[in-house]
Structure 1
Amino acid sequence: MTARNTKRAAALAVAILVCTPARAEEPVASPLKIGGAVRFNYVYKSWQDDYKSGFFGLDTARLNVDYDDGTLIGSAEYRYNNYPKGQGGYWQHFLHHGWVGMRFADKSTLHVGLDKQVFGLFPFASNNFYSSIAFYAGFEDKYDLGLTYASKPGPFEWQLGFYPRDGGSYGGGGNTAGASNRYSYNIVADDSEQGFGTGQDDSERNTLVGRMAWHVGPDAQHEIGISGLTGEIRNGAGVDTRRNAAAVHYAGPVGPFKLMLEAVRYRYRTAHDASQTYGGLDPNSFVMLGAFGYPYPVASKGNIYIANLSYAIPGKLGPFSGFKVYNDYSVLDKKIGGYKDSVQNVTGLSFSSGKWSFYLDFMRGKHHPYLSPDAGGLAATPANHDRFTRRINLQAGYYF
C-alpha cells in the first residue's frame, strides 16, 4: 500500500468512527423513590343501627420516600387518615415510620429511627387489611423509636432491636386524645373525653426485642421462629414496672395452601393506685393502649393464638390478577380478672389490577373494639356484648 493509500484508509477509519452513532447508555436507576397511596373503604357494621346500609369514604392518603444505593438505606411514610361519621367523624395525620441505616458487606442491616419491631410472624401475622388481634394488643406491625439490626438473609436469621421510646404521637388530629394520635398500638396515657377516664398515665420505655428464625425443608420454604420482648412501663408517678412477651411461630406451605401459626404470651406488670380504674375493675388488671385517635383497655396478662390459611389462585380474570383467598383466625385468651376471650375471624379475598389493589373482607368476632360495640372488650367484657357481631370491609387502593 502506498503512503497516499495509507492516508486515505486512515481518513476513512476516522470518518467511520465520527459518523457512527454512540450506543445510548442505560439509564441509571435512582436510589431515591417517591410514592404513595390513596385508599377508599366501604364499611358495614352489624351493630350500628344508624348506618344500616353502611358507609363509604376516604380511608388513607399517604406519601412514601425510600432510599437505597446499596449501602445507605432509608425509608419514611407520612399518613393522613379520614374517618366518616360511622367511624367517629374525625381526621388525623402522623408519621407512620422514618428511619435511616446501612447495609453491610454481608447483607446485614442496621436501622436507626422509627422502625418496625421484628417480633413473631414477620412482616405481618395476617393476610387481611385489618390484621390480627395481635395488632390491637401491640404485637403486630408495630413501630417504635430506636435501633434495629438484622442479620444477613439465609437459612438462619436473627434480629435484635432496642427502642428507648415508643411509636410517638408525631402529628395531629381532629379529636382530643392526643397521646393516641399514632399508628402503632402502644401503652399510652388515658383520655377523659375520648377514653375511659381512668387517670392512668403509663408509657413504654427501653424495649428490647429479639427474634430468631430457621428456614428449613425443600427450598427453605418452611419458617420456624421464636421471639422475646422485655421493656419498662413508666406510670408517671416515679414507679417503673416491666412488661414481657414471648412468641413462637411457623409459616410455610401445606400442599397448595400457606399456613401461618403463632402463639404469644405476654404480661404487663403495673403499679396503678385504687383510683386509676373504671367500672369497679382491678386497676392492675388492664393497661391502656392507644392508636388511631382512641385509647382502650387491654387485659394486662394473656395469650394470643393465631391460625391463618391462604390460597393463591393462579391466572388472571380480565385485567385482574394476584387473587388470594384466606381465613385469618385469632383469639386473645385473657389470664386475669376472669375476663372473657376476644375473638376475631376474617374471611376474605385480595387481588390487584395494575396499580390498584383490592380487599374484600368479612369479619366476625366479639369483645373487640373494631368488631363490636364493646370498646373495652380487650379487657373486661360486659354481659350485654357477649355475642358475635359482623363487619364487612371493602377496600380499593391506588398505589403510585
Structure 2
Amino acid sequence: MTDTISLCATVLATSTIAAAVLAWTPACAADGAESPLKIGGAVRFNYVYKSWQDEYSSGFFGLDTARLNVDYDDGTLIGSAEYRYNNYPTGQGGYWQHFLHHGWVGMRFADKSTLHVGLDKQVFGLYPFASNNFYSSIAFYAGFEDKYDLGLTYASRPGPFEWQLGFYPRDGGSYGGGGNTAGASNRYSYNIVADDEQGFGTGQHDSERNTLVGRMAWHVGPDARHEVGVSGLSGEIRNGAGDTTRRNAAAVHYAGPVGPFKLMLEALRYRYRTSHDASQTYGGLDPNSFVMLGAFGYPYPLATKGNIYIANLSYDIPGKLGPFGGFKVYNDYGILKKQVGGYKDSVQNVTGLSFSSGKWVFYMDFMRGKHHPYLSPDAGGLGATPTEYDRSTRRINLQAGYYF
C-alpha cells in the first residue's frame, strides 16, 4: 500500500510539474509567431465483431477512448502529457477506466539531443511502433511496444547513427476504474502487476523496478531510408515478499522500403526469473513459468520465457478518393513462441486499411489469431493456453477517430 501511494504521488507530482511547465507560455510576439503550447485531443469510436462471442453475433458499437493532450516546445524546453478515459460497451467488458498515458518535461540541447523526465515511452525495438494497425503487435501485449514508465530518457541527436538510453525506477502506476476492473491493471502500458481481485487468483504480487533500456539504430542506404537496430533491456522483478529477481530482453530490428512497400522486421527474446511459492499459481501450472501482466483493467499470465517474431508489410496508396486520402494497406504478423512449460504459441495477424479525411482518422482491421487475450476466449492466452482453445479465431475492428 505504501509503494502504491508513493508511486501515485510521484506520478501526480510529475504530471503537475509537466502541467506547470507546459502552462508557462510567453506571450506571442508581435509578428504572430506560433505559440509553443498546443492543446488537443481525440474521441474514438469502434465497431467490433468477435467470432467467439455468440451472444453478439452481429457485433457491437461503442466509445473507445476520449483523451486530452498538452504539448510544449519552444525549441529548448519541451514537454508532453496525455490523459485518457475509456468507457467500453458490454461486449467489450462493460467497464470504464481513466489513466495518465504519459507526462514528461525535458530539454532539447544545442546538438538536438533530448532529455525527458517523467512518465515516458521506453525506446525499445521497432520505434515508434512495431505495427501499422490500431491494435498494435503481439509485442505490445507482452510489454515490449508503446510502453511508458517513470524515469529518465536520453536520445542522441538525429543522424545516420542514433542511440537512446533510459532508466526507469518505477512503472507508470495504476489509476481509477469501475468496480469490475482490477485496480492494479487500470493503466495503459502492460507492466508486471499484482494479481488482484479481478484476476486469476494466483496471489502473485510482482512489480517492475529499476529498468535500464538501451537502443542503437543505423540509417543506411539511399537517402538513409533503411534503419537497422539493436535493443536491450534489463530490470528487477520484486515479488512483494522481499525477494528480487531479474528480467532481460534483447531485440534486433529493421525498417525500410522494399520496392514500393515498407517492411518492418523484429526478432525479440526475453527471459524473466521469478520467485513464487507453490501456492501462487492456477490450473496446476508451475508458478515460476508465468508472470502476471496487466493493463486496460485486467491482468493475464505471460510465459516467463519466450521469443517474439514480427513481420509487417505496408503500402501507401497515392492520391485521394473524394474527401479521403492517406490510404495505407498493411498486413502485420507476429508470433510469441513460448520457451517454458510446453506452452502453446500465440499468433496475431492483422490485415487492414487506414485512411483519413481532415481531422478524422479511420481503421478497418481484420484480425486472426489464437492463444491471445484480445483474439480468443482464452484470457490466459500468453501463458499456458489449454487445448480447448487450440483454434484460430477472428476479430473485426472498424474505428473512426476525431483528432483536434
**TM-score grouping bracket, smaller chain normalisation:** over 0.9
% same residue: 90
**What residue is the counterpart of 1:245 in the other structure?**
249
Q: Report the Cα distance in structure 2 between the residues aligned to 1:38 and 1:126, rounded to whole angstroms.
A: 21
Q: Is there any run of 5+ residues in structure 2 with no aligned partner, and where?
A: 1-28
1:321 equivalenced with 2:325 (yes/no): yes
C-alpha offsets along residues 248-291 of structure 1, whole Å, 9 cap, x if unaligned?
00000000000000010001100000000000000000000000
**What residue is the counterpart of 1:291 in the other structure?**
295
**What residue is the counterpart of 2:97 in the other structure?**
92
Q: Which amino acid aligns with 1:345?
A: N
C-alpha offsets along residues 133-155 of structure 1, whole Å, 9 cap, x if unaligned?
00000000000000000000000
Q: 4+ residue runs of structure 1 moved beyond 3 angstroms?
A: 170-174
Q: Report the Cα distance in structure 2 between the residues aligned to 1:317 and 1:177, rounded to whole angstroms.
A: 44
**What residue is the counterpart of 2:386 in the other structure?**
382
C-alpha offsets along residues 206-252 of structure 1, whole Å, 9 cap, x if unaligned?
00000000000000000000000000000000000000000000000
- Of 57, 64, 68, the residue aligned with 2:62 is 57
With the length of structure 1 as denominator, give the TM-score of the two structures.
Answer: 0.93
Q: CA RMSD, aligned part only? A: 0.9
Which runs of structure 2 are paired with 1:252-263 in the superposition (5 Å)?
Answer: 252-263=256-267
Q: Report the Cα distance in structure 1 between the residues aligned to 2:383 and 2:327, rounded to whole angstroms.
A: 36
Q: Report the Cα distance in structure 2 between the residues aligned to 1:141 and 1:176, rounded to whole angstroms.
A: 22
SS class of match (1:179): helix
C-alpha offsets along residues 310-346 of structure 1, whole Å, 9 cap, x if unaligned?
0000000000000000000000000000001000000
SS class of match (1:67): strand
**What residue is the counterpart of 1:265 in the other structure?**
269
Contact kept in structure 1, 2:337 and 2:345, CA below 8 Å: yes
**What residue is the counterpart of 1:108 in the other structure?**
113
| Deviation for aligned residue 1:201 | 0.2
Q: Report the Cα distance in structure 2 between the residues aligned to 1:321 and 1:49, rounded to whole angstroms.
A: 36
**What residue is the counterpart of 1:17 in the other structure?**
none
1:304 equivalenced with 2:311 (yes/no): no
Q: Report the Cα distance in structure 2 between the residues aligned to 1:88 and 1:176, rounded to whole angstroms.
A: 9
| Deviation for aligned residue 1:173 | 3.8
| Deviation for aligned residue 1:25 | 5.4
Q: Report the Cα distance in structure 2 between the residues aligned to 1:334 and 1:191, rounded to whole angstroms.
A: 25
Q: Which amino acid aligns with 2:67?
A: R
| Deviation for aligned residue 1:167 | 1.6
- Of 122, 135, 138, the residue aligned with 1:133 is 138
1:41 equivalenced with 2:65 (yes/no): no
SS class of match (1:135): helix
**What residue is the counterpart of 1:212 in the other structure?**
216
Number of paired residues?
A: 376
| Deviation for aligned residue 1:175 | 2.5
Which runs of structure 2 are paired with 1:4-83 in the superposition (5 Å)?
Answer: 26-83=31-88
Which runs of structure 2 are paired with 1:127-166 in the superposition (5 Å)?
Answer: 127-166=132-171
Contact kept in structure 2, 1:93 and 1:173, CA below 8 Å: no
Which of the pair has more CA radius of gyration?
1
Contact kept in structure 2, 1:92 and 1:174, CA below 8 Å: no
SS class of match (1:40): strand
**What residue is the counterpart of 1:363 in the other structure?**
367
Stretch deviating more after TM superposition (26-35 or 243-252) = 26-35
- Of 233, 238, 241, the residue aligned with 1:229 is 233
**What residue is the counterpart of 1:202 in the other structure?**
206
Contact kept in structure 2, 1:147 and 1:161, CA below 8 Å: yes
SS class of match (1:134): helix
C-alpha offsets along residues 25-84 of structure 1, whole Å, 9 cap, x if unaligned?
531100000000000000000000110000000100000000000000000000000111
Q: Is there any run of 5+ residues in structure 1 with no aligned partner, and where?
A: 1-23
| Deviation for aligned residue 1:172 | 3.7
SS class of match (1:387): coil
Q: Report the Cα distance in structure 1 between the residues aligned to 2:286 and 2:352, rounded to whole angstroms.
A: 38
Q: Kindly tell me: are residues 275 and 323 of structure 1, through their superposed partners in 2, closer, same or farther at Cα, counting changes over 3 Å?
A: same
SS class of match (2:139): helix
Q: Report the Cα distance in structure 2 between the residues aligned to 1:169 and 1:324, rounded to whole angstroms.
A: 35
Q: Which amino acid aligns with 2:174?
A: S
| Deviation for aligned residue 1:174 | 4.2
Contact kept in structure 1, 2:95 and 2:177, CA below 8 Å: no
Contact kept in structure 1, 2:95 and 2:181, CA below 8 Å: no
Q: Which amino acid aligns with 2:328?
A: K
C-alpha offsets along residues 85-111 of structure 1, whole Å, 9 cap, x if unaligned?
001101001100000000000000000
